[in-house]
Amino acid sequence: MIKVLIGDSSERIRENLKRRLDAETAVGVCALVGGGEEAVQESLRVRPDVAVVDSALPGLDGLQVTEMLAQFAPGTGVILTALESENDLMRRAMLAGAREVLQKPFSGDELVSAIQRVHDFQERKRKSGAATTQAATGNGNGRGGGDHGPQGILVTVLAGKGGIGKSVVATSLATALAQRGESRVALVDLSLQFGDVAALLDVTQPRTIADLAAHNAVADADVVADVLSSTATGLHVLPAPASPELADYVTTQHLRVLLDELRRSHEIVVADTNTQLSEVTLEAVESSERIVLLTDYSVTGVKNTRLVMSVLGVLKVPDDKVMLVANNRDARTENSLARTQAESFLGSKIALEIPFDPAVVGAAVSRGAPVTTTAPDSTVSAAIKQLAGLIAHNSPQAPAGVAAAAAPAPAAKRQRRILGFAR
C-alpha cells in the first residue's frame, strides 16, 4: 500500500482528498497536516511514500517543505499542489525536488494517477541506488569494475555564478585536451537538469547519463562506452539527461561509480557542473584531482567565487588542487574589478585569463563547435590551449604541486552535512 501524507491549510480540502484516496485499495492516507513545519515533522515520523503538499502552506511554504523532504526524507516523493500554473513555479518546484505539480482544482483520478507515477519513480530510484551500491562494493554484475582502480584524472569545471561561460570553457578545454592527441579524454555534463554540453558540441545522442543510471549500467564498461558520443576531435561526450525531470535518476552513488569507470578508460575526464552546489557537484569536487574555478571580474562574480572558495575550504579541498581562471565574458567597464583587486579580494592568484572576444565565442556557440576548432588562431583559443597544457602536464599521474587522488576524508563528508548539502 502506498502511504500518503496530505498537507493543506484547508481542513475541508484535506478531508475531501482523504475521502477520495480512502476509496483506493492501493493507497492509504497516513497523515493530515495543515502547516509546513508539521508536514516536515510528520513526514520524518511516519515516512510516507508520497507527500501531497500545497504550495501556500503556512509557516514553511510548499517549496520549502519540498526542499527539506528532498534533503532529510529522500524516500518520500513530493507532489506540489497550487492554484497557479506559471512556468516559473513549475521550474522552482522541479529544482526543489517535487516530482509532480497539480493545478487546483484537480480531479481525484488525476491525484491518484500522480501518486502512482511518483511512487513508481521512487521505487525505480530506490532499486537503482541499491544496485549501484552493489556495483560499488564489488557485489554487482557490472563488467567494468575489475580489480584495477581508476588511473585517469578528473578535472571539474566550477563556477559560482551563471552566465560567465563555464560550459563554453569546459567544452573547449576538453576539446583542446583531446586535440593534443596524448590522452583519451571524456567530457561529462553534470548540469543534469539544464546541461548545454550537447548543444555546444552539436552532439545528438539518444542515450545519456540518465539512461546509464536508470538501467544500473554505470559500472558496465561496454555499456558506458556505447553511450558515449564521439566528436571529430576524438573527444568522448556523455550528455546530460534529455529532460529535466530525468535528472533525479542520477544519484551520487551512480556518479561515484561512473567517474571511476570513466577514469579506467580515459586518461582525463572533464566534468562540467551547474552553478548550484548540489550534492552531485560536490561529489565531483571531492573526487577531482584538479578543479578549474572560473570567475569573471564583475563584483557579483568575484563575490560568488569567494563564497565557492569558502565552501571548498570547509570541505578541506587542498589549495593546490584549485586553478583559478578569469574569463572575460563581457567587455571591461568602470564597474569591473581590476585583476589585482579580484586577486586581493579572493586571497588567491589568478592562474590564467581568457580574453574577451565576443565574435569568436559567439560564432563557436552558434555553430555548435568549440573555439579551438572554429578559430584555432584566436587569442581565446590560445588561452584555452594554454589551460589544456597545464592540465595535460598533470595527467595521468599528479606530479609535484598537485595532490594525488584520494578518497574523501570522513571529516569532509561531515562538513557537507553541516552545510546542509548532504542527503
**Which CATH number fits the domain that encloses residue 185?**
3.40.50.300
Instruction: Please write the tens of the pLDDT for every residue from 150-162.
Output: 689 999 999 988 8
Domain endpoint, select from 136, 165, 198: 136
Lowest mean pLDDT among 7-11, 63-67, 342-346, 394-398: 394-398
* HSE-CB for 34 with a 13 A CA cutoff: 6
**Which CATH number fits the domain that encloses residue 40?**
3.40.50.2300
pTM over 0.85: no
Domain endpoint, select from 136, 163, 195: 136
Instruction: Give yes or no for residue 170 having a pLDDT over 80.
Output: yes
Q: Quick one: 121 and 169 in the same domain?
A: no
pLDDT at 136 (0 to 100): 53
Q: Quick one: 129 and 159 in the same domain?
A: no
Instruction: Give yes or no for residue 188 having a pLDDT over 50.
Output: yes
Chain centre distance of CA 315: 17
Q: Quick one: 174 and 119 in the same domain?
A: no
Domain endpoint, select from 102, 136, 170: 136
pLDDT at 254 (0 to 100): 86
Q: Quick one: 125 and 157 in the same domain?
A: no
Place 143 in a pLDDT band, splitting at 50, 70 and 90: very low
Alpha helices, DSSP H, located in 107-194? 108-136, 166-179
Q: Quick one: 369 and 394 in the same domain?
A: yes
In a domain, 148, yes or no: no
Chain centre distance of CA 137: 23
In a domain, 147, yes or no: no
Q: Report how far residue 123's alpha carbon sits from residue 198's, in angstroms, rounded to the nearest whole number.
A: 29
Q: Quick one: 121 and 176 in the same domain?
A: no
**CA torsion through residues 124, 88, 62, 67, sign:** positive
Q: Quick one: 97 and 173 in the same domain?
A: no
C-beta separation of 55 from 104 below 8 A: no
Q: Quick one: 238 and 380 in the same domain?
A: yes
Helix (H, G, I), strand (E, B) or coil at 309: helix
pLDDT at 408 (0 to 100): 39
Q: Domain count of the chain?
A: 2
Instruction: Please write the tens of the pLDDT for every residue from 282-321.
Output: 889 988 999 999 999 999 999 999 999 988 888 888 988 9
Q: Report how far residue 156's alpha carbon sits from residue 136's, in angstroms, rounded to the nearest whole number.
A: 21
Measured from the Cβ of residue 399, the count of other Cβ atoms closer than 10 Å reads: 9
In a domain, 206, yes or no: yes
Query: Could you tell me the residue range of the domain that residue 176 belongs to?
Result: 153-419
In a domain, 143, yes or no: no
Helix (H, G, I), strand (E, B) or coil at 79: strand
Joined together, the cell numbers standing for residue 66 give 519540498
Instruction: Please write the tens of the pLDDT for every residue from 247-279.
Output: 888 888 888 889 999 999 999 999 999 887 788
Mean pLDDT of the region 95-106: 84
In a domain, 415, yes or no: yes
pLDDT at 83 (0 to 100): 85
In a domain, 302, yes or no: yes
Q: Quick one: 181 and 282 in the same domain?
A: yes
In a domain, 9, yes or no: yes
Instruction: Give yes or no for residue 147 having a pLDDT over 70.
Output: no
pLDDT at 84 (0 to 100): 74
Instruction: Give yes or no for residue 398 having a pLDDT over 80.
Output: no
Instruction: Please write the tens of the pLDDT for every residue from 105-131.
Output: 899 999 999 999 889 877 766 765 555
In a domain, 104, yes or no: yes
Instruction: Please write the tens of the pLDDT for every residue from 208-220.
Output: 898 888 777 888 8
Q: Quick one: 69 and 200 in the same domain?
A: no
pLDDT, the chain, mean: 84
Lowest mean pLDDT among 6-10, 86-90, 200-204, 250-254: 86-90
Q: Quick one: 60 and 112 in the same domain?
A: yes
Q: Quick one: 241 and 94 in the same domain?
A: no
